[in-house]
Chain A
Amino acid sequence: MNEFIPVIGLEIHVQLATKSKMFCSCSTDYIGVKPNSHVCPICLGLPGSLPMINEKAIMYAIRTALAMRCKVNTRTIFHRKHYFYPDLPKAYQISQYDLPLAVDGCLEVSDDDGKTQRIRIQRLHLEEDAGKLVHSTASGRLMGAEYSLVDCNRAGVPLMEIVTHPDIASAKQAREFVSRLRQLVRYLGVSDGDMEAGSLRVDANISIMEPGCEYGEKVEVKNMNSLRALERALEYEYERQKEAKKEGKAIVSETRHWDDGSNITISSRSKEEAEDYRYFPDPDLPPLVVDERVIVQLCKGLPELPWEVLGRFMSDYGLSSDEAEVLTERRDVALLMDELVKEGASIKVASNWIRTEILRVLNERGISAEDLPVQTSEIAGLLLLVDRGDLSTTAAKEVFNLMLEKSINVEEAVKILGLSTGKLTGPELEAVIDKVLSENSDVVEEIRAGKDKKGKKIKFLQGIVMRETKGQADPKEVQSFIMSKI
């Protein structure tokens, strides 16, 4: 029997990081905010209110489209999509239909072997988010709720919907795609791309086919709130469909929900009872005409994109792809790398330092590199000392921590810690070594008696000296001093 291959297409909703909503001037903050406090007649859909397009959202969406090499439509139309639900104030969502903002782009993903695969983007369009229902049950689920309340703070928040062609061939690749897209929107600063918080939501269409045969019935999988959930849901769905096919059962075209607790997908709606959304052009919004010159400007204004930075770090800095990957994962970090190098830090030291110390601090504090309380030039200065061997890595970490803690420069931190940035060498070093040797005369005797065949005891003494000198001695010099004295 032939092996089945999965055919996957994604629909991704990205909440845009604009200050105000898609069609009104209400704040887009809705997490941890008093219910229905960021609302107005427009996002509440009150009779008589009219929408006005948020230009910033258009700009953000065009930037994303351009980064994915989409064709931006200079004339685009907003449609009304109708369905009744209590979280949808107007009982229609302003969305786009047959003339979306952009079409025909692509985003490349690479697999484990480093081979790249091009995933085609079918369309990118803008729409408004719905509100949220708060159910009275302890679990927050609708089932069994005595009552439900509507919070419209999220209603009208701009959403960018990105639809791919069914070019994705595995659950892993789907995960990689979303991860790339998330990285892109973060680079562009158009969204925080937080899947857990719901600012990036993925619906997947998956079917299976035997090579050379026609596409199978497709199933839509929803409710995956992390990259891991996405991958697992698609793996599960692939296996489920494969088993069904092997048992000769038909695959039903339906919507299924991923249940993160039990790790299965559950059927929620058959496509046969699919709703008729009665799309038609919103008569309150004239067709949106985007000036070609604006598109050119936005194109010129695009930042260096993640894959471009990655390539440059490998070719210009000579970094391995693994190193470059880590350094370019976040734009703020990649920018810091460039700045440190510009300030004179060595590529090697800067790369190591960022991947260990800086990322640790950024993750611990949940901040971006721009928010570090020390100047980049100071960090570069610190790395220079490490590079010249004036400070050991251990000492440098202490210095760095103090710099962060007190927002002070390198010089001050070194002084407070009682370090000197010069090397401890010559007679000064010799004095320390003499002290260590005399305090450990038993070990010295053993070495002299030839009992240190593996050189462990010499290393032991060396370690004590390094500790005594707070790492400011050159290990080679220490070793040669010890050898000559024994």
Chain B
Amino acid sequence: MSLKTDDRKFDARTAAGIEDAFMRGAVGSAQDSLKTRRLTAATALGDWEQWRELGQQIRQHTLENLDYYLGQMADNVERRGGHVFFARTKEEASAYIRDVVQSKNARKVVKSKSMVTEEIEMNHVLMEAGCEVIESDLGEYILQEDDWDPPSHIVAPALHKNRKQIRDVFASKLSYAGDETPEHLARFARDILREKFLEAEIGITGCNFAVANLGAINLVTNEGNGDLTAALPKTHIAVMGMERIVPTLEEMEVLDNLLCRSAVGQKLTSYITVMGPREPGEVDGPEEFHLVVVDNGRSEILASEFHEALQCIRCGACLNVCPVYRHIGGHAYGSIYPGPIGAVITPLLGGYDDYKELPYASSLCGACTDVCPVKIPLHEQLVMHRQNIVSQGRTGVADRVQMKAAGKLLSSPGMFRGTLRVAYSMTRLLSRHGRIVRGPGPIEGWIGIRDMPQPVKKQDGFRSWYEKRERVDRSEVSSMTAADIRKKAPSAHGDFNAAVLPEAGPGRDTSVEEAASPIGKEGRRP
């Protein structure tokens, strides 16, 4: 797997997502239950906003001093007998790992879930070198057995699959004969993977946070596979994105609390482990420990206006609240990093050539920004991407023409007044029964699926009404009742309900009894 998970165009990926009814049901119900669980866990902490600010401050302090903390961490890992390799590119990272594996003449590699190892295409490189690589996270193992189906969520990689599909994968690939009960499927995988842990020569894990002063890494899991991966094989290789570091155990503790609650609504996951090279006298744990620190585009992000994206602790909370992710699923993003954070970092890591649509796959509702435990301004960063895409001339000609015209119109009171004057007559030929039924460009995108009221005549517009009533003796106003005001005002009330009702519109009175008129009764487009 690489950053890119799909060669199809964005529209084709999205359409495939929208058509996948099971996936959408699964994502929807996962979002709904995780929302409640996350909220309960966050509320239980008391002042969640203060926790977020604390998390943000810790992440920002660490990033501002990243060279210092990485240096300190490397000193401490080496002092304890481990090795640290700094990889500028994904090629350097996976080549180093391959070299370590080959230097051990190893063939059997067991892994725990790690997004950065996907990013550096490590599995591919190791398999090319003749190794068996086993993903031990249950979700990742299912995907691996399904011919390396890409993950669709950064915490729950197989979220898009149902139990029947999983049963079928196990049956056809592993001769599983049981039913589709999740317990049975999980127990079956446990038995197979237990053997793999015990025979593996190399264990490869990711790293939630490196602890700089200790020279150790922190893993946060529920299944226990990360611990077995690190404890049993004689060589442990941990791979980390260079930004995933904290000064001490004290800051790690804060971030782990934010991570567990935001990711899965747990206070702490079942296994939170801090591990480093084996100390003298200890029996198990790795005899050789390697930590690979990966840049692969991160230093460019650090130098850019997107540097806050590096605060990410990969909790996936932004995916779990995103209404767009909800309907298109993870695969539509075409990246191992889906959802809002994926739409921010994928174009940074993979470039606009392949990913310029992602920043637009958001209604900018801000749910991601609101939920982020380390306060990354995700939706603002999506707008920043759009600004870059525009300034690099990557938007279509039509879009540029329309937006530049809109820019002119929206900044010119005179032009806007002119538009209000002609809007009704200009749209008359496009409208029927007070509703626009066809139109160019953006209007087409709207009316393809929704009704749209026709603009009102200038004399029926708000501005004309306000202007005319200005001429009413203003001293009367305070003593007038609303009914009086209404009598003096022109009775135009071309609101949405009125506009879609042929018999309503100008001339309609707005008495209480009448209330708003129902829409959808008449004049509906076929």
Partners in one complex: no
Measured CB to CB, the residues of A under 8 A from B are none
Measured CB to CB, the residues of B under 8 A from A are none
